[in-house]
Amino acid sequence: MEETKLYRPLGWTTPDESKRLVELGLGVDTCDLWYAERFEATWNQSMNRHDYSETPYYYLSFAKPSERNFSLDCVRDLPCWSLGQLFELIPASINWNERFLDGNSICFGSQEVFAHNGSDWHRENAPSLIESAVKTAVWCLENGYITKE
């Protein structure tokens, strides 16, 4: 399956990242944003029906699907997490190893250990802080450091 192409936002998960977090068991009640997934529809006069595009597009909403006062005619709603919300979910420390930032990297360990030999710590690095936060959340979910739904 081809990954959804989307402008890389500074502060929230992409639809593909959101799907991955849900697959790993992150509860949708922990999200603070929502995507409404839609498909472009065109009227096919000869067949007397709507034809839908194969590639979805997304609207970002701050309101929960049940709280919207308008219809987006969406196929489905996807949870979305902001960078701040991911930092709320990612533990501040694991086994006495504090979480700290090093550029766009999110690390667990002591900065002293990190500076000297780099052993006994975990690091997730990506081009942007939100991508590092997603990778860290995935690692935490896979290793039982974030409670699953």
Q: Which two tokens stand for residue 49?
A: 């029906």
What was the pLDDT predicted at 20?
Answer: 96
**Confidence (pLDDT) at 1:** 46
- Note the pLDDT of residue 139: 92
Low-confidence ranges of the chain (pLDDT < 50): 1, 4-7
Q: What is the reported pTM? A: 0.76
- What pLDDT does 79 receive? 94
Tokens of 16: 């593909």
**7-43 b/e (C-beta count within 10 Å ≥ 16 → b):** eeeeebbbbbbbebbeebebebebbebbbbbbeeeee
107 and 113 Cβ atoms separated by less than 8 Å: no
Q: Write down the pLDDT at residue 110.
A: 64
pLDDT at 54: 74
3-class secondary-structure state, position 42: strand
Q: Are 3 and 16 in contact (CB under 8 A)?
A: yes
